[in-house]
Amino acid sequence: MPETPTPTPLRPQPKSALAAAIGAIVGVIVTVIGLIVLAWAILFVTKGRFLKPTFVKYASRYADRAVAVGGDFQLYFNPFHLKFVAQGLTLANPAWAHDKQLFTARLIDTEISTWDLALGRQHVLFLTLEGANAGLEIDKAGRNTWTFAGNTPFKVPPIDRANVTGSALHYTDAKNRADVKLAFGDLAGNVGRAGTEQVNGPLTFKGGGTALAQPFTIRGAFTTPNSTITGGRTGLDLHAVLAATTIDVTGTLPKVGVVEGADLRVTVAGHNLQTLFKVGGMIAPATRPYRLAANFTKAKNEYRLTNIGGHFGDSDLHGHLTIETGGKRPKLLGDLTSNTLDILDVGPWMGYSPDKLDKRGGKGAVTMVDGHPTVLPDAPLALDGLSSIDATVDYHAAQVRTGTVPIKNLALALDLDERRMFLKPIAFDVIGGRITANIDLNARATPVSTDYDIRMTAVPIGKLLTSFKVEDNGTTANIAGHIALHGLGDTVKKSLGSSKGRIAVVVSKGTLWIRNIELAKLDVQNFVVALLGKDLKKSRDIRCGVAAFTVRDGVAAADPVLFDTGRAIYSMKGQFSFKDETLGLSLRGRSKEFSLFSGQSPIGINGWFAAPKVNPISKELLTRGGASVLLGIVATPVAAILPFVDLGTAKNSNCAAIESAETTAQVAAAPHDPKVKGSKPDAHKRKKVLGIF
């Protein structure tokens, strides 16, 4: 048999360097995994409670604020995501804040995505928050309590599911004098990832406090809690009561507390719009009860109110307003219109009490002072408000409801620049004529000065009288006028009561009923003759007329008041006062025709602006009556009529001087017009009718 070969023993091969390296790496990985598993196991078993001091230390260092956990603390993986539980957690405010804590919570129970943390993101999978309170504050310097070390403001991370109960907020803003306390309603559901929202109702809130030093109450809801909690676009539904004003807001904000780019509909309603503006340190005209709505947004330095609609008093209002900030003072820009403006709603703009106007109508403009009625408004101008804002606003009203004279096409242009306000123009149509006023109010100086420049053209007297439910008296004449006054004082009453200047109203050629001509000169004979002949409403010519007054220190003296007709000349003497609103005038007619029985004495116009009195019985008339009685006794009964005989010697006035609104002295010095039927003043002089001064 052949021999069986003896097997050669195998020699051990040396390990390669690569295999050694791989083995080492695997060993390290296994060790690391083991350590991780061990750490995970330790954390899972202990719930990471031993990390509480470490968490407090590093959290306080990161926030540069004191962080504390008063109760249970847990920090572990459950099983893969980071689980965090803290009872009685507090996060301090800066030392300058009034509230000691920025945030406190009775319980925080949350789970955070580990994967997102590894990628440098924050993503909360669920959050249970009980008894959370936040103390937010802005000081006068603009510092806020929610910006941490490194000027990093706190940002709420995305949250998938939440259950929030018993939360509240205290917010103070020294700059805007705000102190707000809100309590939030409970919130539960999926509020994070798009398409998975299943929130049980909106995030509601209610509370109150002060804003701009005024008490208020508030309630509402963030209607999009998903994006609200994650710092995104926020739906808002809010109702507040501030300074006797209700405010309703609906729409969306870019995020909570941010109005830049907001899309809101704001409705305000109250007793007086001026009240709300005063809270904001701005001026606005006083109003009767109002309700106004507008779309609101902010773009950079502009706060925009568009699509304004609503009413104030019995007037409607539409248009847009913009408030520009960033300059020395905010500036209000706007264009507003009304289809109908009620005259009672203009009263508060001039200083009349809106409450009295609302209760008593036009009679609310009358106030009893020292036992007599006054009608000029005496409400002080809001000087502080004039210095807080500039404005350029145009206003138009298609018609003004007065109850008497129809007014249309009102246009008002307001310009306010550093305590100087121009109303140029205030213009409107009145029964075929036009009135235009320019008012310059200068509050830069002390006392406040006001210049009034008011012009009236081609207003028909007949239509004007008819508007007041008075017969038109057969007149076809028009009136034109000019008022130029300068006054001092911070109320309309003070300003007019100290004013100086000139008032003039010119009457053009036309006609007037005989009845009125004879009654105004107390001509009984010619009145009876016209009555018997049925000619009382027969027209007679008006040659010309003027009612001019020179005003000094608030007292307007007739200078002159003349009215020339084909049958008589009427003149007025006396004065009226803006100071105490007294009337002391007398109207006298001088006949151009013979009469056997004419009073030839003045008719008194006395009383007050708000309660004028007409008195045809004068001392002169009584004297004539006494003389008549005496002559009838000592002479013959026929002689009794002698004191009442009017020879009709009055001459035609100089119509050129009258129509130029010259002074009494100038009219008296002008030659009389010839007493020729149909005569006309010099055509060249008549061109001054509207150039009164």
CA within 13 Å, CB half, 559: 14
- pLDDT > 60? residue 534: no
User: Where is the domain boundary, 232, 250, 275?
Assistant: 232
| Same structural domain, 199 and 268 | no
CA within 13 Å, CB half, 395: 23
3-state DSSP assignment of residue 389 = coil
Q: Which of 203, 207, 202, 204 is nearest to 218 (CA)?
A: 207
- In whole angstroms, give the CA distance from residue 295 to residue 285: 21
User: Where is the domain boundary, 232, 251, 280?
Assistant: 232
What is the sign of the dihedral through the CA atoms of 163, 167, 173 and 174? Answer: negative
Confirm whether 16 is domain-assigned. Answer: no
- pLDDT > 90? residue 157: no
- In whole angstroms, give the CA distance from residue 428 to residue 423: 13
Domain limits for position 226: 43-232
- pLDDT > 60? residue 423: yes
pLDDT per residue over 245-287, tens digit each?
A: 999 999 998 887 788 889 999 999 998 887 877 776 666 778 8
| Same structural domain, 286 and 393 | yes
Contact 99, 137 (CB under 8 A): yes
| Same structural domain, 618 and 471 | yes
- In whole angstroms, give the CA distance from residue 397 to residue 389: 25
pLDDT per residue over 206-242, tens digit each?
A: 999 988 778 899 999 888 876 776 667 888 999 999 8
How many C-beta atoms surround the C-beta of residue 105 within 10 A? 21
pLDDT per residue over 101-155, tens digit each?
A: 999 999 999 998 888 877 777 788 888 999 999 999 999 888 888 887 666 656 6
| Residues paired with 611 in a beta bridge | 608
| Same structural domain, 490 and 417 | no
Helix (H) or strand (E) holding 573: strand 568-577
Q: What is the DSSP string of 497-546?
A: HT-EEEEEEEEPSEEEEHHHHHHHTTBHHHHHHHHHTT-TT-EEEEEEEE
Share of the chain above pLDDT 70, in %: 71
- pLDDT > 50? residue 402: yes
- In whole angstroms, give the CA distance from residue 520 to residue 44: 111
Confidence of residue 586 (pLDDT cuts 50, 70, 90): confident
The alpha carbon of 133 is separated from its chain's Cα centroid by a whole number of angstroms, namely 38
| Same structural domain, 193 and 52 | yes
| Same structural domain, 145 and 271 | no
Confirm whether 250 is domain-assigned. Answer: no
State the chain's mean pLDDT as an integer: 78
Q: What's the whole-number mean pLDDT along residues 565-594?
A: 80
| Same structural domain, 513 and 596 | yes
List the beta strands (DSSP E) in 185-285: 187-190, 203-211, 214-222, 234-242, 245-253, 263-270
| Cis preceding linkage at 643, omega within 30 | no
Q: Are strands 124-130 and 133-138 parallel, antiparallel or unpaired?
A: unpaired
The phi, psi pair for 518, rounded to 5°, reads: -75, -40
Specify the number of domains making up the chain.
3
Task: Indicate the range of 417-426, 488-497, 559-568 predicted with least confidence.
Answer: 559-568
| Same structural domain, 344 and 472 | no
pLDDT per residue over 317-339, tens digit each?
A: 999 999 998 888 889 999 999 99
Report residue 52 as tokens.
């509480």
Report residue 343 as tokens.
């005259």
- In whole angstroms, give the CA distance from residue 33 to residue 20: 20
Q: Which of 504, 458, 463, 503 is nearest to 478 (CA)?
A: 458
Confirm whether 7 is domain-assigned. Answer: no
pLDDT at 304: 94
- In whole angstroms, give the CA distance from residue 255 to residue 193: 17
Confirm whether 379 is domain-assigned. Answer: yes
pLDDT at 3: 57
Q: What's the whole-number mean pLDDT along residues 523-532?
A: 42
| Same structural domain, 283 and 214 | no
- Distances in Å between the Cα of 148 and the Cα atoms of 59, 448, 480 are 12, 50, 72
DSSP 8-state code for residue 554: T
Confirm whether 27 is domain-assigned. Answer: no
- In whole angstroms, give the CA distance from residue 536 to residue 523: 13
Confirm whether 520 is domain-assigned. Answer: yes
Q: Are strands 539-552 and 568-577 parallel, antiparallel or unpaired?
A: unpaired
The torsion angle over the Cα atoms of residues 513, 515, 516 and 520, rounded to 10 degrees, is 150
| Same structural domain, 123 and 224 | yes
Burial 371-396 (b: 16+ CB within 10 A, else e): eebbebbeeebbeebbbbbbbebebb
- pLDDT > 70? residue 427: yes
- In whole angstroms, give the CA distance from residue 434 to residue 459: 7
- In whole angstroms, give the CA distance from residue 350 to residue 377: 7
- Give the CA angle between residues 407, 409, 410 to the nearest 5°: 80
- In whole angstroms, give the CA distance from residue 506 to residue 613: 24
- In whole angstroms, give the CA distance from residue 576 to residue 274: 34
Confirm whether 24 is domain-assigned. Answer: no
Q: What's the whole-number mean pLDDT along residues 608-637?
A: 58
Q: Which of 453, 544, 450 is nearest to 497 (CA)?
A: 450
| Same structural domain, 308 and 426 | yes
Residue scoring higher pLDDT (591 or 244): 244
Confirm whether 444 is domain-assigned. Answer: no
User: Where is the domain boundary, 216, 232, 248?
Assistant: 232
Residue scoring higher pLDDT (625 or 454): 454
Task: Indicate the range of 66-75, 164-173, 295-304, 596-605 predicted with least confidence.
Answer: 596-605
Residue scoring higher pLDDT (288 or 642): 288
| In the block, residue with structure tokens 């019985």 | 617
| Same structural domain, 383 and 500 | no
Report residue 468 as tokens.
């007041």
